[in-house]
Chain A
Amino acid sequence: GAGVSQSPSNKVTEKGKDVELRCDPISGHTALYWYRQSLGQGLEFLIYFQGNSAPDKSGLPSDRFSAERTGGSVSTLTIQRTQQEDSAVYLCASSLGGTGFYEQYFGPGTRLTVT
């Protein structure tokens, strides 16, 4: 079946602009996660969704970052007033459930470059 998909694959934006990143999880997966990977910080967790609610937002680095999930499926990560330090690869993952016992499957990522 189809895996996790993300769009766009690459995004170049000017500092100060807002961006939206999209994630389509594997059908039937109730849990959805956002991570980002940058050279200096490695792979870090941003936010976790179970259904449409986000019980763990502890990884969001500032209030410029927000995410939502609708219909228990698609999720968008929004970064407002982008800064150069936001440049990274943003990865989305989904899993069957959110009990911590299931495999997390990752999408190909969105490479964000803030100029």
Chain B
Amino acid sequence: SQQGEEDPQALSIQEGENATMNCSYKTSINNLQWYRQNSGRGLVHLILIRSNEREKHSGRLRVTLDTSKKSSSLLITASRAADTASYFCAKGIQGAQKLVFGQGTRLTINP
């Protein structure tokens, strides 16, 4: 499937620790967008990284992209209980306008 994989499917860590989530894909992309979702409703946009970029930061978030390995990672530093959510990477496929989502990583931050 062109969705690729996200791993881990679930991650549980202690507050204050760093969380790393990974995303792989199979087709060529224009960009890759990371989202957070609480309670199975709206998606909150976190970061967009373009195919010619290797790293982007936003606050405690760091996203990397390795197009040679067709993979991306999202790092959340100094995690907080409020970071508990599902995180999705969405691939902006070349030649198409849609985003293709992975199955997501369910992150739990334990106080």
Q: Which listed residue (A50, A104, A108, A111) contacts B99, Cβ 8 A? A: A104
Q: Among the listed stretches A64-72, A76-84, A95-103, which one makes contact with chain B, having 4 or more residues with CB under 8 Å of it?
A: A95-103
Most central of A31, A44, A48, A106 by chain B CB within 10 Å: A106
Please, which residues of chain A bring their CB within 8 A of the CB of B48?
102-103
Q: Is the CB of A98 within 8 A of B97?
A: yes
Number of A-B contacts (CB under 8 A): 67
Q: Is the CB of B35 within 8 A of A100?
A: no
Which residue in chain B gives the minimum CB-CB distance to A31? B97
Q: Is the CB of A109 within 8 A of B31?
A: no
Which residue in chain B gives the minimum CB-CB distance to A56? B97
Number of interface residues of B (CB under 8 A): 27
> On chain A, which size bracket covers the interface?
20 to 34
Q: Is the CB of A56 within 8 A of B40?
A: no
Please, which residues of chain A bring their CB within 8 A of the CB of B97?
31, 33, 48, 50, 55-56, 98-100
Q: Which listed residue (A48, A50, A103) contacts B98, Cβ 8 A? A: A48
- Which residues 83-115 in A have Cβ within 8 Å of B in the complex? 89, 91, 93, 98-109, 111
- B33 lies within 8 A of chain A by Cβ: yes
Which residues of chain A have a CB within 8 Å of any CB of chain B? Answer: 31, 33, 35, 37, 42-45, 48, 50, 55-56, 59, 89, 91, 93, 98-109, 111
